Amino acid sequence: MLKKSLLVGAVSLAAMLASGVASAQNVYVGGTVGQAKWNDDCKAVSKCDTKSNAFKLIGGYNFDKNFAFETSLFSLGKITASAPLGNAIASAEVKASGIDFAGVAKADFTDEFGGFVKLGVSRVTTSAKGNVGNLLGFSDDTTSTQPVGALGLTYKVSKDLALRGEFETRRVKLGSEKENVNTFSVGMQYSF
């Protein structure tokens, strides 16, 4: 499913780049890295790590100085948990990745500083696997469409290059369970 999402994202970006309406500064690309915090309470486990490294690649199109459309390919990293179960140790890991499609409202505070609000949908694939000692293993995958929202700041280093920092929240689903994953990230975007 992720391969299909990558293809959709690449086609969307190519269409924006090839469109006759694309002029200077309308199209941008970028990437961010940061930390994802999964809102899992870790009850009934002795060891639990709900923070993970996250990253995303961004492609966007500015309709004007206040509105844009963005597509992001993202990874929310992996969380792990373990607990003793009789004489064995039960362990599990969960990871998520996918693609976002979002509208972006932007405002410039000064010539260099700006802010943005992003709202859209994510196509998220969440995978879990685990085992109980050497006796029993399990795995589960769920792909779902979930909401995504973000608040961010940009700082123009030059006419074409900007630093970008943002807080995102998106929902992930595994089986019938849903939880939010919040991400703080920083990166760059290049306009052309």
Residues sharing a CB contact under 8 Å with residue 59, sequence separation 6 or more, in sequence order:
9, 12, 13, 16, 27, 28, 29, 70, 71, 72
Task: Decide: pTM greater than 0.75.
Answer: yes
Residue 17 is predicted with a pLDDT of 47
| pLDDT tens, N- to C-terminus, the chain (192 residues) | 445 554 555 555 455 444 544 455 699 999 999 999 998 767 666 788 889 999 999 999 999 999 999 999 999 999 888 888 778 888 889 999 999 999 999 999 999 999 999 999 999 999 999 888 777 888 899 999 999 999 999 999 999 999 999 999 999 988 888 889 999 999 999 998
CB within 8 A of 58, min separation 6: which ones? 28, 29, 30, 31, 32, 70, 71, 72, 187, 189
Residue whose structure tokens are 């939880």: 179
Record the tokens describing residue 38, joined without a space: 């999964």
Whole-angstrom distance between the N-terminal and C-terminal Cα of the chain? 30
- Tell how strand 113-132 and strand 67-85 pair up: unpaired
Structure-token match 């929240």, residue found: 169
CATH of the domain spanning 2-191: 2.40.160.20
Q: Is 72:55 a contact under the CB 8 Å cutoff?
A: no
